[in-house]
Structures are given as structure tokens and as C-alpha cells.
């Protein structure tokens, strides 16, 4: 193995080098992300309106687009120390296998029981809920990563955690459900008879296996109808990107520690929380005119919000109970093909990431899932880590870029986000291993049909 | 949180501080572990006899009880760098929650895709097979941890990997099976029609769901009947304990780095590989008369080889195709109760660990599985890591010892081995969460019946 004796396989920061504040990229954006709108009035949501649903401190973070650094409370930093700093790994084996002169690094967020970066925001949101004297929080979960992360954070702080889990996942992913239960969460298959909206949906569609939109509606109702509860969300929102900036800040610090300057930064993009967190400090340097990077957002071809969506105001949820956000969207009715196993199924994209993309600070590419799983398996065998399908979108493009370097002879430095592990995604891997995975890309007509449902407001 | 500013949450060694040689505790043992015997002749197995089944270099390591340090080849050290050093974690949160003056540390081996320490020996065994010019290796796996580790090692080295997986696990743990397939292993449910012994068993017991003993027999037959193949094993053997000494060496180095001296060292014990690896350097200090520790082996009450077994020669496998080993054993026919979900199901114990126990260098305790899962859940909620049931045996006793310290006011330093994660054990957790887990301890009559099957040889 050819290695650089100056650069270890894994760069770990010391505890004393860990970030003490989150970085709020909005403070450096000339074009601020557009505000959330009240769907009833078409006017920006006020803090008061938001506080009916979200915790007070988190509403402040949601609305704050001027403060560049927001201190991380000590209790959250203590929790971070249990599973952070995450390693920045030099992919020596992958480089050798590809025969590329490129230097490849990945920031690995999978070394915690939630299996992903979601925990970074879950602990922050649970902390502020606890701090406000609340009894508990409610949320929805699809595959279960976010629900698991929130369950862990709530167990640690002694906060009640109620998770509405899309019914088909509840039944098909019993292991995720059990992890949440082991952490003391109350997991309810959605739609359920515990909420008015759930009962209504069950009456109208008795056999439904649920959807994320329905689970959001139930979780919001559960939060607003119980004394001392608020609703929390694992992606898309500005506050979530703020918390996830810890990924980018650690990455920047680890690179600086060894004098490494990246050329290309790659992240997968669903709702945008991991990508936004990883790229924040780098985008900040670009926004301040200090440096330039190629930043690449990778999304699934079956859910291509950045590459084929429209940059407009849209509903954040299928049930239309949440505020409107300006973002690249495929329309809130859009549902990726049922055969799509690669995650990143959200119809829209974080307003921050959308604005940065609109303003030319990042590129976007879409990839098909068979190519994604091909890269995932290749990576697993070479680097030893079984990646989550979501993360594998970034792996695919990192490999493609490294292969281009082999062809051009350029020794570019590539950094990508490896957001999590695939231990609970083996059904998808099995489909790939059995040669039964297919790609299904929405037609222009299908996209036009779902975009026809965009609200007539805020446009 | 009250923390010691001098001791971080996680102690990571630098790459330059990682062990360059394994420690062979047998070299320091006055009473050497008894040699393996040929069941046909009753005489010690020769290197030549062993080489028909095992790789040449591994046979040397198996037989070498005089060389204290055996260099780790560079290629293995490179692989180790992909997932090692593993962190030695200070369990600050657990200490606070327990209100104990004890200082608790755990060596966490779960941060790799195999989910356990098994990878430490898998890469070594695969390396020596590759080095000998072999085409591949065969093995058996029960729950699938060892099979996964071996698949990863073989994928990395480009070696063929054939895994015989106990049929009930193959069917009930499809995720583990898929991880192995993703790493390119050929996984066959055992008993199968691919071997003579498998066909014989299938003819005699058409509906059987298999056993580890049967899978071993098939794997050995597959190795000896194919050109360029050898059989490898994930625990019990001296060579495996040698490779696993990397756990103890790293632990010793991490403690030394911060000037910490442990009082109690705790490990779970099934075949003995993790326990033996963790305690080797510490036992060595005791054997050389340099220092004293309390070393505690923790085993399940439903499979109590050390605490209720007999120290005699016995078959290593149910099928009686392997050599005889002198060890604490419950008899090779012993099978733990079907409701036992906590792992560590092997009827015997590594000869090295057995001899050390016999000579008074370690204590042994057995614990019931409901108490083990209680500790597992407590630990998960407080320390954030969802532990494997096996590892949770050590957690149980570490908590018990820390509680004793609370009562006596002693600030003892406790180190325990956290061998792996429980992501693939959620069926067992579910049983516990649903209140359906029960304990089932073998009666004296049951143990006497299985001990009556001991061989009449070597006694």
C-alpha cells in the first residue's frame, strides 16, 4: 500500500479542537434564503406562529440569518464527545484500487447507534426542548434513521419521545422500530387512530400503508394537542443545517491540521441537511470571496429536485399542514417510484442549499440507483465500511471524479460526506445482489403533473 | 457532567502508537495450555497433521508457546488502520448515572462493519491463507458475526470465501447473510447437499434446521476436498487469541498514555477469543509477577462452561471431526436452551483461558440473560451505544462492580471489553422489550448427562 507518511488513515481531532459554535452560513449569504410563509395568509411566519409548533430557541435559530457563529451549549458538546469527533478518513485503499492520482477523503458520520449524522441535530433539538421545560417531542420517521437519533437524544435527556413511523416501514423495518423502543420511544404506525387526521385518513383509505406526509400531519397534531410537547424535524429546516455545520467545521479543522486544501467537495442531497452541514464552512469561504471549490450535490435520478425541479414556494409536507418554503421542488405530491431503494425521497430541498445552488455556489448531478449500489458494494469491499444507500450517492460521484483524475493525471483532493451505514438497508442490498434492482426515472410528463400542484402563493 | 479535564471521553492512539507485534501470553505461562490431541491416536497433533486443515503459518502460531511477541505483517497493520485503533472510552455518563466513585472504561470493538472484534483475527487468517498461495478459505458461522468479518477480510485480499451458515440463522438472519454476500462470500445454509456429511445429515434428519457442529463438519470437508482451500475458525484456538491480543495491547497503551492503572478487568466469555485478547497483556504482567489485577470472565448462566464445566479433554465440535482440546467444557453435546438469546453458546472455552482460570489468574461469574438485557438497555440509553448481547454480559458485571464501589466508597478503575454492536440482534431485544424473555439455566442432571459424553481419551 502506498501511503503518505504524513497523513494517517484516519484524522481524529482532539476534544479541545472540536467546534464550540455552529456556523450559520446564512450570515454570509448576500441573497438570504426566502422566509417561510404562512399558507393561510401568504405572509412570512412570525416567531410567535412558529413557537406554537417548534421550541422557542429553535425558532430563533430558524429565523436568524445574521449571526455567523452560534455557541453550542456545553451539554450538547458533552453529548457530541460521546460519538464525535467523527473521523476524516483518507481512502488510501480506494485510491490504490482505482489507480488514481486523486487524494480522496471522507468524513464518516456512521459511527454511532443512529447510524448517521442525524444525531447531530437530534441532540440539539431535544436539548432545547428540555431547556424550555417541555415534557416531550413528537416527530415522524420514514426509514427510521431520524426517529432512532431522536430516541437516543431523548433517552439521554429523559425526555418523552413519540415517533409516528410510516406504517409500511413500521412493518417492514421491525429492527429500526425495536432500536427506537429500546431507547424508550413510543413508536406508532401511521396512519393511526391516535390523531384526528390519522382517523380521517384511515376512514377514507382503510388499507393504506401510510406516507411521510401523513406521518408529519399526525406528529404535528400530536405536538399541538398535548400540553408540554413540540414537534421536531430532522432535515430541510435552517436550524437543522445549522446543527449539521459541525460536520463541515470538523472537516475543515481536520484538513487544516494537516495543511490539506480540497478541490472538490461532494455530498448526497435529500432534504439537504448533511450536504448543507458539510459544505457550510466551505461555501462560507466562497461567499466571502476567500477561496473557490467545486461543490457537488448528488441526488437520485428518481427524485431529482435540484436537477429537474422548480425554484418556487411549495408545501413542505404532503398534508399541507406546515409552512411554505421557497426551494427547488418537484411538487409536494411527488412520490418517487416504489422501486426506489436509495433513500433521499424528499420532494424538495433545504432553502439554504436551494439558494446557494440558484446562486451558482454548487453544482448538482443525479445518479441512478443501480450505479449507486454498484459504487456502494465496490466501496464496502475496498474500504471495509458498508455504506447507507443515501451516502452511496456521494461515493458514486467521488469515484467518478477520481477516475477522471486518473484519465487526466490530475492529483485533485476530493472530500466527500459518508453520512451513514447500511446495516438496516439489507433488503435493498439483497435486491441489488440478486440482480433485481432496476432504475425508474420520472418522465417529463410525470414531473409536470406533480408540479401542477404547486401552491398559487408566494410565487 | 463532572469530567476529569485530563482524561478525554475517548482515548485514541496515534497510528504510530499501534501495536507492531501480537503478544503471545503462552510464552509467559508456567503451566502451558495442553496440546491439541488427535482423536484417533490420542497423541498431540503434529504440525503436518494440522496443516491438512489449517494454513501453514497459522499452525506455527497455534503451536508456538515460547515466543512472546510475534510481528504483525505490514499488510495486516495497514488493514488494522482502516478500523483501528479502537477507542478506549471513559464512561463518564454511566458513572454519573450510577452515582459511583468508580472510574469506568470500555474498549469498544464495534466500529467496523463486522460489528465486532472478530475482524482482528479474520484479516490475519485470510492474510496467511493468501500468502500461502491458497485460492480460498471455508468456515462456519452461527449468528454471522464471524462469517461477516471473514467475508470482509477475503474481499479486501481477493480471496474466495465459503461460509456454511447454520440453516436457522440463514433463514432468520437474512440481513447478516446479505452483508456477507455483499462482500462476495458464497453463503450456504447448513446442512447442505454440497458435502457428503451434509447429505448424510439431510438424509437422516430431513427437516433439520442445522447446528454449529454440523456447519463445522461441512466447512472442514469443503476445505479438505477442494484444491487450494483451508479451514479457518473465529474463536477458541490459540492463534485467534494471539491475534486478538491487539485489543489488550491497545488498551494497555491507551491506559499508559494517561497514566491510568486498572483494578478490575472484565470481559464476556464464549469461546474466549475476546476475553483472551483483552486480558493477555494484563495476565502477562501477573504471570511475570509484576502486577496484580482482578480479572473477571462473564459467561451466560445458560452456558456456564467455566463456572460449572469440567477441565478435561473434549471434542471442539459436535461432529467430532476436529482435534480434542483440554478446556473447561460442558460436553460437546451440550446445547444451550433454545430461548437463550444472549450469544456465547459454545460448549467449551479456549485452552489458554481455561488454563489461566484453572491456575487462579482470573475469576468467572455467570449471569442470567434478562439481567444482561437490562444492563444492555441501560447502557444504550446512557452511553448511546446499542451493545451486542454478548458484550452486555461484561456490561452487567461492570455495572455491578461500579455499584459495589458506590456502596463502599472505593474509586476503583474498571476496564471492560465492549466487543460489538447489537444491530443484528433486534429480535432478541424485541423479546426483552415485550417482556417475553425468560431465563433457563441447565439443571445439574442436564449437565451431568452432557458431560457423560466426554471422550475417554487424554483424561
Q: Label residue B322 by pLDDT band (50, 70, 90).
A: confident
Angle, CA of B194, B198 and B203, to the nearest 5°: 115
Q: Does B381 lie at the interface with A, CB-CB under 8 angstroms?
A: yes
- Which pLDDT value is given to residue B458? 59
* Cis peptide bond upstream of B191, omega within 30: yes
Q: Is the pLDDT of residue B393 over 90?
A: yes
Cβ partners under 8 Å of residue A421, min gap 6? A110, A115, A116, A385, A386, A387, A388, B113
Kindly report each contact of residues A170-176 with a partner whose C-beta sits within 8 Å and lies 24 or more positions away, as own/partner: A170/A210, A171/A209, A172/A427, A173/A143, A173/A144, A173/A424, A174/B426, A174/B430, A175/A424, A175/B175, A175/B423, A175/B424, A175/B426, A176/A143, A176/A144, A176/A145, A176/A147, A176/A148, A176/A424
Per-state percent for chain A, helix, strand, coil, to nearest 5: 45, 15, 40
Per-state percent for chain B, helix, strand, coil, to nearest 5: 45, 15, 40
End-to-end Cα, chain A, rounded Å: 56
Note the pLDDT tens digit of each residue in B123-151: 999 999 999 999 999 999 988 999 999 99
- Which pLDDT value is given to residue A458? 59
* Cis peptide bond upstream of B265, omega within 30: no
- Contact indicator for A160, A154 with CB cutoff of 8 Å: yes
Contact list, B179 vs chain A (CB under 8 Å): 386, 423, 426, 429
CB contact under 8 A, A155 and B3: no
Note the pLDDT tens digit of each residue in A55-71: 999 999 999 999 999 99
The widest CA-to-CA distance across chain B, in whole angstroms, is 65
Contact list, A75 vs chain B (CB under 8 Å): 1
**SS3 assignment, position B331:** coil
Q: Does B174 lie at the interface with A, CB-CB under 8 angstroms?
A: yes
Alpha helices in B191-318 (DSSP H): 196-204, 212-225, 238-257, 273-287, 305-308
Q: Which residues pair with A164 in a beta bridge?
A: A140, A188
Note the pLDDT tens digit of each residue in A308-366: 999 999 998 777 878 999 999 999 888 888 888 888 888 999 999 999 999 999 999 99
Contact list, A424 vs chain B (CB under 8 Å): 175, 423
Q: Does A183 lie at the interface with B, CB-CB under 8 angstroms?
A: yes
Contact list, A433 vs chain B (CB under 8 Å): 178, 181-182
- Which pLDDT value is given to residue A317? 79
- Which pLDDT value is given to residue A322? 85
Query: Nearest residue of A to residue B115 by CA position?
Result: A423
Q: Is the pLDDT of residue A157 over 90?
A: yes
End-to-end Cα, chain B, rounded Å: 56
Q: Is the pLDDT of residue B376 over 90?
A: yes
B 300-329 near A (Cβ less than 8 A): none
Mutation site, A182, A376, A377, A436, interface B, largest B CB count within 10 A:
A182
Q: Does A3 lie at the interface with B, CB-CB under 8 angstroms?
A: yes
Mutation site, A384, A391, A423, A429, interface B, largest B CB count within 10 A:
A384
| pTM for the predicted model, two decimal places | 0.96
Average pLDDT over chain B reads 95
Highest mean pLDDT among A137-151, A310-324, B211-225: A137-151
Q: Is the pLDDT of residue A191 over 80?
A: yes
* ipTM of the prediction: 0.95
Cβ pairs bridging A and B (under 8 Å): 120
CB contact under 8 A, B429 and A179: yes
Q: Does A82 lie at the interface with B, CB-CB under 8 angstroms?
A: yes
- Pick from B63, B47, B37, B39: nearest CA to B325: B37
For residue B310, give the C-alpha cell: 469440567
- What DSSP string runs through A132-148? TT-SEEEEEESSSHHHH
B 19-48 near A (Cβ less than 8 A): none
CB contact under 8 A, B78 and A12: no
- Contact indicator for A274, A117 with CB cutoff of 8 Å: yes
For residue A316, give the C-alpha cell: 413542505
The residue written with cell numbers 446499542 in the block is B386
- Pick from A269, A262, A261: nearest CA to A244: A269
- Contact indicator for A183, B381 with CB cutoff of 8 Å: yes
The count of other CB atoms within 10 Å of the CB of residue B160 is 17
As to burial, measured by CB atoms within 10 angstroms (0-12 exposed, 13-18 middle, 19+ buried), residue A457 is middle
CB contact under 8 A, A78 and B183: no
Contact list, A421 vs chain B (CB under 8 Å): 113
CB contact under 8 A, B430 and A174: yes
CB contact under 8 A, A381 and B10: no
Average pLDDT over chain A reads 95
- What DSSP string runs through B130-182? HHTT-SEEEEEESSSHHHHHHHHHHHHHT-EEEEEEEHHHHHH-HHHHHHHHH
- Which pLDDT value is given to residue B173? 84
B 143-162 near A (Cβ less than 8 A): 152, 155-156
- Which pLDDT value is given to residue B208? 84
CB contact under 8 A, B15 and A9: yes
Closest chain B C-alpha to A321 CA, distance in angstroms = 33
- Contact indicator for B353, B26 with CB cutoff of 8 Å: no
Least confident of A19-23, A341-345, B233-237, B385-389: A341-345
**SS3 assignment, position B459:** coil
The widest CA-to-CA distance across chain A, in whole angstroms, is 65
DSSP tag of B32: P
Closest chain B C-alpha to A29 CA, distance in angstroms = 36
Q: Is the pLDDT of residue A459 over 60?
A: no
The count of other CB atoms within 10 Å of the CB of residue A96 is 13
Amino acid at each position: 500500500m502506498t501511503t503518505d507518511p504524513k497523513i494517517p488513515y484516519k484524522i481524529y481531532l482532539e476534544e479541545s479542537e472540536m467546534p464550540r459554535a455552529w456556523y450559520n452560513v446564512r450570515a454570509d449569504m448576500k441573497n438570504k434564503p426566502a422566509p417561510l410563509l404562512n399558507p393561510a395568509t401568504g405572509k412570512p411566519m412570525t416567531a410567535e406562529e412558529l413557537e406554537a409548533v417548534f421550541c422557542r430557541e429553535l425558532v430563533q435559530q430558524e429565523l436568524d440569518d445574521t449571526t455567523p457563529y452560534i455557541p453550542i451549549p456545553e451539554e450538547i458538546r458533552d453529548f457530541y464527545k460521546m460519538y464525535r469527533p467523527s473521523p476524516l478518513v483518507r481512502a488510501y485503499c480506494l485510491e490504490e484500487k482505482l489507480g488514481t492520482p486523486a487524494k480522496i477523503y471522507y468524513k464518516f458520520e456512521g459511527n454511532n447507534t443512529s447510524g448517521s449524522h442525524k444525531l447531530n441535530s437530534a441532540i440539539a433539538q431535544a436539548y432545547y426542548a428540555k431547556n424550555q421545560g417541555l415534557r416531550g417531542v413528537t416527530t415522524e420517521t420514514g426509514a427510521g434513521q431520524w426517529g432512532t437519533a431522536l430516541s437516543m437524544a431523548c433517552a439521554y435527556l429523559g425526555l418523552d419521545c413519540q415517533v409516528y413511523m410510516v406504517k409500511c416501514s413500521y412493518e417492514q423495518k421491525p429492527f429500526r422500530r425495536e432500536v427506537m423502543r429500546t431507547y424508550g420511544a413510543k413508536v406508532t404506525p401511521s396512519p393511526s387512530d391516535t390523531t384526528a387526521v390519522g382517523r380521517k385518513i384511515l376512514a377514507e383509505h382503510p388499507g393504506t400503508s401510510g406516507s411521510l406526509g401523513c406521518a408529519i400531519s399526525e406528529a404535528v397534531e400530536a405536538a399541538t394537542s398535548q400540553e408540554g410537547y413540540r414537534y421536531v424535524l430532522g432535515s430541510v429546516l435552517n436550524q437543522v443545517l445549522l446543527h449539521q455545520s459541525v460536520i463541515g467545521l470538523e472537516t475543515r479543522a481536520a484538513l487544516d491540521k494537516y495543511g490539506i486544501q480540497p478541490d472538490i467537495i461532494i455530498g448526497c442531497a435529500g432534504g439537504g441537511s448533511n450536504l448543507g452541514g458539510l459544505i457550510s464552512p466551505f461555501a462560507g469561504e466562497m461567499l466571502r470571496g476567500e477561496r473557490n471549490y467545486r461543490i457537488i450535490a448528488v441526488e437520485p435520478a428518481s427524485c431529482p429536485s435540484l436537477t429537474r425541479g422548480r425554484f418556487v414556494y411549495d408545501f413542505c409536507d404532503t398534508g399541507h399542514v406546515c409552512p411554505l418554503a421557497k426551494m427547488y421542488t418537484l411538487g409536494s405530491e411527488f412520490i418517487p417510484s416504489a422501486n426506489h431503494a436509495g433513500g433521499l425521497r424528499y420532494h424538495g430541498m433545504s432553502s439554504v442549499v436551494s439558494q446557494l445552488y440558484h446562486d451558482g455556489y454548487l453544482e448538482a448531478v443525479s445518479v441512478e440507483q443501480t450505479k449507486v449500489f454498484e459504487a456502494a458494494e465496490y466501496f464496502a469491499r475496498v474500504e471495509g465500511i458498508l455504506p447507507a444507500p443515501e451516502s452511496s450517492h456521494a461515493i458514486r460521484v467521488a469515484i467518478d471524479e477520481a477516475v477522471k483524475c486518473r484519465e487526466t493525471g490530475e492529483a485533485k483532493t476530493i472530500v466527500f460526506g459518508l453520512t451513514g451505514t447500511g446495516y438496516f438497508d439489507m433488503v435493498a442490498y439483497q435486491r441489488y445482489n440478486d440482480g433485481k434492482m432496476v432504475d425508474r426515472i420520472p418522465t417529463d410528463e410525470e414531473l409536470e403533473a406533480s408540479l401542477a400542484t404547486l401552491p398559487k402563493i408566494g410565487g
